[in-house]
Amino acid sequence: MSSSCCGAAGTTKALIIVDMQNDFCPGGSLGVNGGDKIISVINKYIEQFSAKNELVVFTRDWHPANHCSFKEYGGIWPSHCVAETKGAEFHKDIFVPENHVIVSKADTSSKDAYSGFDTTSLDSDLKKLSIGEVWVCGLATDYCVTSTVVDALELGYKVKLLVDAIAAVDVSAGDGEKAIARMVSLGAEVYKLK
Ligand code: VGL
Ligand code: ZN
């Protein structure tokens, strides 16, 4: 028997918090405007999930120092989220509930991974727990949030995109808004706290 207590298989949900790391917050090497302003909202979602003992997933970019996405190694980004450094740590104000898992991604030099599902155990972890719905927030809207949402939809999850708890890099103005439109067109449902 499944250890899930409530409802039919596939109806349990999880909260996925994407890359709320120092380097993606203002002051970090790839700081996203407003990346810190969403923390208090994210904490409300975390409290909501943890009150029902629902799983909270924290993804993190966890790069080696010579990662291929870094400019000095042929990529497009400044060095960021190098494993075991301050920049890769979660922002100190994010509440970490008891029922959580941490999913590290893009942790080898030759491969990047924007999605929390890319080359990780996240899909099997969720399926083992009969989780069929994910609520997604974090950084950045136009990169890792989008990739995570697109993969979740492809893998058959129902997806709620928490639009009051995401922020975009906006390399070009409007990238974040375009990304939201794309996620919605693929089946994500927009949600925000009142
Ligand atoms: C991300 C750029 C490079 C993200 C990660 O978390 O959105 N963006 N690596
Ligand atoms: Zn990265």
What's the pLDDT at 177? 98
Residue 25's pLDDT band (cuts 50, 70, 90): very high
Q: Which of 39, 10, 12, 11 minimizes the C-alpha distance to 26?
A: 39
**How far, in Å, CA of 173 to CA of 175, rounded?**
6
* Residue 11 pLDDT class (50, 70, 90 cuts): confident
Residue identifier of the C-alpha nearest atom 2 of ligand 1:
143
Neighbours of 71 (CB within 10 A): 10
CA 104 to ligand 2 center in whole angstroms: 11
Q: Residues 75-132: pLDDT tens digits?
A: 999 999 999 999 999 999 999 999 999 999 999 999 999 999 999 999 999 999 999 9
Average pLDDT for residues 42-60, to the nearest whole number?
A: 98
Say how many Å lie between the CA of residue 36 and the centre of ligand 1.
Answer: 15
Which structure tokens are listed for 62? 């966890």
Residue pLDDT, tens place only, 151-190: 999 999 999 999 999 999 999 999 999 999 999 999 999 9
Instruction: Please tell me the predicted confidence (pLDDT) of residue 2.
Output: 46
Is 105 labeled as catalytic in the residue annotation? yes
According to DSSP, the residues that pair with 158 across neighbouring strands are 133
Predicted local confidence at residue 15, as pLDDT: 98
